[in-house]
Every structure is written in structure tokens, then in C-alpha cells.
Amino acid sequence: MKKFLNIGFSAIILGLFLTSCNDDDDYQTIESIDKIKIDSVKIANDTMDVFTVQSIRTYSTYPSHCEGFYGYDYIHNDNLTRSVTAYKYITNGPCVQSSFTGINQINFSPRQTGTYTFKFWNGGSNWITRTIVVE
């Protein structure tokens, strides 16, 4: 039995060693990251309770399918003020040159009561401002 296990284990190791890696994967490389303006914001409830979770959706227009959502820069300016900037990735390679709207979200879960002010970057020095009252 021990000899049978050794042969089986050796065969697995040899199989892994002889398997070649295919470097011709079907993906594009991210070339750069840049800000993308947030066109609009949807907040379902402008009033909520402490320790509950609410999804805040943002909408941005991407000029081509070589671009997509990368992440948010979510800054706590103070206890009740948040600044949100969205970032996009830009890939290399061929892509469809048609614009599309990307929808993304932030899950907000406040830990104290108060009136929270959210500022979403809308390009240049423009911001979309929304408030949520937390009771």
C-alpha cells in the first residue's frame, strides 16, 4: 500500500511538472488609473438608524469599454462629513468605443447620530452634496 501511494504521489508531481503554463491568457493589462466624475447619486433613504447599512449608488459615464470602475477614495473630513472620489482603470488593447454608464455603490453604516454630509466629486471643483440624517 505504501509503495502504491508513493507511485501515485510521484505521478501527480510529474504531471504538475510537465504541465505547461499558457501565457496567452485572454485579458488586458491596466495601463493607468484616473479620476472619473460621478454624474449622479442615488440614496434610497435620507434618514436611517445608527448601525444599520444603506447602499449609496453612484453613476459614472465611461467613454469606452477599455475603462471601468477601479475604486473609491472615501475620505472622512470630520466625524460627519465624507468626500467621495471615484477612480477608473484604463486598459490597453482593442475595445468597443461606445460610452456606457457604470453603477457602483458604497455601503454606509454610521456609528453615531447626526446629519452626515456626503460630497461626491463631479469634475473640476464641482461636488454633488447629499445629506443623511442618522437617528
Indicate left, alpha or beta for 29 from its phi (over 0: left) and psi (-120 to 50: alpha).
beta
Q: How distant, in Å, are the alpha carbons of 57, 60, 108, 117, 128 from that of 43? A: 7, 15, 10, 12, 12
Successive 10-residue mean pLDDT values, the chain, 135 residues: 50 52 65 96 97 97 94 95 97 87 97 97 98 98
pLDDT recorded at residue 15: 52
Query: Domains in the chain, start-ordered, CATH in brackets?
Result: 25-134 (2.60.40)
